[in-house]
Structures are given as structure tokens and as C-alpha cells.
Amino acid sequence: MAVAYTPWPDEIATLYRKKGYWRDEPLTQIITRHLDTSAPATAIICRGRTFTYDDLNRLSGRLAAALEKQGLHEGDTALVRMPNCAEFYLVFFALLKCGVVALNALHSHGLFELRSYVRQIRPRLVVLSCGDIDAQGACVETDGSILPAALENEGVERSRILLHAMRSCTADACLDGFTWATSEGFSVPENEQPIEAADAKGIAFSSFPEAAPAPQN
């Protein structure tokens, strides 16, 4: 399944490649280019936790493999609403490794915005942050809203809504904070990687309107 998108005008794409802005590399190169020489180097510091480039690659790969086992495929879409935390980057890179196109909503976006996104992209997966874990182990919103139920009314099944709650844990245990909105556990296999990495060549994350003039040198 291919995701429809508006390509950049040919003259702009040619200019950006000529100047080296575009190198036809997947965004996962941000991680993998460090693995040979600086895998143990610090990539992210989040809430007292340190994630190396090796951690990012390994954990995002495990998460990608788990999502593939749940039926997520290249060309699918995902809606993500998470704060600026290490787990957001794990989700983002995992989706890239699956070939999934992610729409990253602001963490301040509420039900109105999320409903609009759902109607536009019809996501196969929705990833939401939530404030805490209740006594029954369920993920709940600190503001009292019930986003999974509301999105279910928009046609998003709870089995396709992945929730994340921040926990005090090590980097290796951070994936334990994910659970399905059905209250089922989210199993992330050890040492597994996604079946295939996506080729991001040609994908435009945004574009100029058709009538917009090309930027000048």
C-alpha cells in the first residue's frame, strides 16, 4: 500500500540534492551512522536515563518488530501524540523502520485535533501518552479525558490504540510502559528486529502548494 503525497516540485528537489540537503537516505541513518564508531555514545538524556545510539537502534528495532507482529505494514499510517521524551523517539524510529508514515501531533493537542487527524489519515495505529497507571494497571489520562473511547467513536478500534505511561525505570525497561487500550499487555520480544527497513527515497514530509514560487538561491 502506497501513501499518497504531494511531491516537491522537480526543480526544488534537484536544487536540494545538489546542495546536499537531501541525500536520499532514510531518517534512521541518524542512528545507524553512529553504530560503527560511536555506538556507546550518549544520544538522549531523559529523566535521569541515558540512551546510547546502540540503545536507540536496538530498542526501536524491538518495538518495530512487535508492531509488525501486530499487523502493521509498510505504507500504513499512524497518529502519535506523545511528549518530548525518549520513548517518543523510540516510537518514531520504530515506525520508520516498519515503513509506517507517522503524523506527530503536539502533546497539547486534544480531542478536537485528534479527531480531525483520524478522519484525514485513517490511522492503522494510534499512540497516546497518558499520565499514570491506575490500581488495575490501566493507563489513564491525568486530565480525566477518555481519549481511547472518543477515538473509538471515530472508527479506531481499541486494539489499535497503544498507550504509554512514564515510569521510573532504566533505558532497557522503558518499553514496559506501553500497553494496549484494551488493557492487554504489549509484548516486545527480546533481540528481534523488523523484517525489512523502509526505503524513504521519494517521501515528502511536507510540500509547497502547487502555485508557490521556488525559493531563490
| CA within 13 Å, CB half, 50 | 5
Residue 80 located in a structural domain: yes
Q: What percent of the chain has pLDDT over 70?
A: 81
Digit-coded pLDDT (tens) for 1-43 = 567 778 899 999 999 999 999 988 889 999 999 999 999 999 9
Phi/psi at 4 (nearest 5 deg)? -70, 135
Mean pLDDT of the chain: 83
Q: Is the pTM of this model over 0.75?
A: yes
| Higher local confidence (pLDDT), 207 or 44 | 44
Lowest mean pLDDT among 43-47, 74-78, 87-91, 198-202: 198-202
Contact present, 53 and 33 (Cβ < 8 Å): no
Question: What is the total count of domains within the chain?
Answer: 1
CATH value at residue 157: 3.40.50.980
Residue 13 located in a structural domain: no
What is the domain extent for residue 145?
27-180
Residue 135 located in a structural domain: yes
Residue 126 located in a structural domain: yes
3-state SS of 159-212? HHEEEEECCCCCCCCHHHHEEECCCCECCCCCCCCCCCCCCCCCCCCCCCCCCC
Residue 191 located in a structural domain: no
pLDDT value of residue 76: 94
**What is residue 29's three-state secondary structure?**
helix
